[in-house]
Amino acid sequence: MTAVAAFGLAMGMMAAGTAQADTFGSGADQFTLDFVNVGNAGNANDAGAGGGIYSSPYGGVAYGYRIGKHEISENDIATATAAGLANVTAGAHTGDEPAAYISWYEAAAFANWLNTSSGYQAAYNLTFSGSWSMTLWDASDQATTGVDSGTNPYRHKDAFYFLPSEGEWYKAAYHQNDGVTANYWDYATGSNTAPTPVTSGTASGTAVYNQTFATGPADVNLAGGLSPYGTMGQNGNVFDWNESAFDGNNDVSTENRGFRGGSWVFAQAEPSLRSSFRGGDSPTAVHIDVGFRVASAAVPEPSAAVLMLMGLGALGALMFRRHARRSL
């Protein structure tokens, strides 16, 4: 890397802050997934959520993590399949539209492939024999993330990529990103006012809903305004599978999984886009308007001091080279 490139990289990292892109596959069969950091570790649950059938508040997460800026697209599935992913089919939509009509098990298999193709431990103890099934991890392998307390028998402790738990998904969508607080928005566009419905786009305060089946969902990178953490499409477009069992216990491999977020065909923001709305179904079920996004463990970022030293070092090397050329 040249001194100019190193200096530019250092300064770009300082400016970009939390945006990160991970690359998978190789050659023609290569694609990237954009992640945003979700900080404020140790924030409290949403004190305003709950009541009725929504008996527990959500969103308190004790650790930092990353979550996909976008939902996984049909193109992501197709490219991963060309690069070695097997037994995962998402056929409801096309191109950069979200990968829907996909079961929880298939979404989990995609997360496993992200891990194993990158040299990490698989997140889920899956088996495919004509259809997918899952076994809980032994106690020594269970993660302590993705649950409020104790261990998570669904997720392996050494996995890097995984499906976001309900708490992880909820925080990225609705937390106000204002520190270790219990402050949340009602909608995933950083507002207590329902988003404006659109067919596609990236305007602040918009979401893809109140559309017809014929219009289909928007491309994953045109799925409305951003959440306070920088995610897109956590309201509208398609629902996202959560890792968590619908009852939150993660103690039976075949029990219903939760999903959240609403879809393009829901006519009203209330209640489907609102933070209090939850859905769930069997991990073998598929729906035209249920897709997924992935999350990952946090990636430590260089401190401001380290980045400044990188920049000064690169600048010094550049000045030295220019002086050397003048001296020749």
pLDDT at 47: 80
Confidence check: pLDDT of 217 > 50: yes
d(CA 174, CA 58): 10
Tokens of 268: 């009203």
User: pLDDT tens-digit profile of 233-245?
Assistant: 999 999 999 999 9
Confidence check: pLDDT of 322 > 60: no
pLDDT at 50: 54
pLDDT at 270: 84
CATH of span 18-300: 3.90.1580.10
Q: Where are the alpha helices (DSSP H) in 101-248?
A: 104-116, 166-174
User: Which strands, in side-by-side order, build the sheet including 295-297?
Assistant: 20-26, 29-38, 65-68, 295-297, 161-162
Q: Kindly report the pTM of this predicted structure.
A: 0.87
d(CA 17, CA 67): 15
- Which one is predicted more confidently, 91 or 298? 298
H or E, element range at 134: strand 132-134
- What mean pLDDT is predicted for residues 60-87? 98
Confidence check: pLDDT of 74 > 70: yes
Confidence check: pLDDT of 324 > 50: no
Q: Go through 127-147 and write b for each residue having 16 or more CB atoms within 10 A of its CB, e for each that does not.
A: eeeeebebebbeeebbbebbb
Predicted confidence band at 301 (pLDDT cuts at 50, 70, 90)? low
Which residue ranges make up each domain of the chain?
1-17+303-328, 18-300
Residue 191: DSSP 8-state:
B
Confidence check: pLDDT of 326 > 60: no
Confidence check: pLDDT of 320 > 80: no
User: pLDDT tens-digit profile of 112-147?
Assistant: 999 999 999 999 999 999 999 999 999 999 999 999
The chain-wide mean pLDDT, for the chain, equals: 88
Residues 6+ apart with CB under 8 A from 36: 18, 19, 20, 66, 67, 69, 172, 229, 230, 231
